[in-house]
Amino acid sequence: MYPDVFPAYIVLGWASLAKSMFSKAIAAFENASSVSRDSIWLRLLGQAHGISGQTEKAEGSRRYWLTMSEQRRRTVLKLTDYGGRANLGISGLTR
């Protein structure tokens, strides 16, 4: 498997979860989240921890996912606010 192709890790993780191969699923989701820091992979990792009975790790993944989601939301809001101000000509930047 190519190490930078995170969708392959996701498929491997889902297949491993379906077969109750929790440690293999967790490893696959950890690899996916290390290649791509998208929050969806963190949710899947937390889900695998929860299903496998590792509730503390599942809660840690959930908290980290919530933090990442909030940071992303703030970034989007800042960009949206800047875009709106720029369209109104009040961004504070000179052209």
pLDDT digits (tens, 9 = 90+) for 18-62: 999 999 999 998 888 887 767 677 788 888 888 888 888 888 887
Helix axes 39-51, 22-35, angle to 10 degrees: 170
Residue 16 lies in a domain: yes
Number of other residues whose CB lies within 10 A of the CB of residue 84: 11
Q: Which of 9-23, 45-59, 72-86 has the lowest mean pLDDT?
A: 72-86
Residue 1 lies in a domain: no
CA–CA dist 45, 36 (Å, integer): 13
User: Number of folded domains in the chain?
Assistant: 1
Query: What pLDDT score was predicted for residue 27?
Result: 93
What CATH code is carried by the domain that includes residue 17? 1.25.40
User: H or E element: which one contains 95?
Assistant: none
* Per-residue pLDDT at 7 exceeds 50: yes
CB-CB contact of 13 with 4 (8 Å):
no
Q: Which domain holds residue 43?
A: 6-88
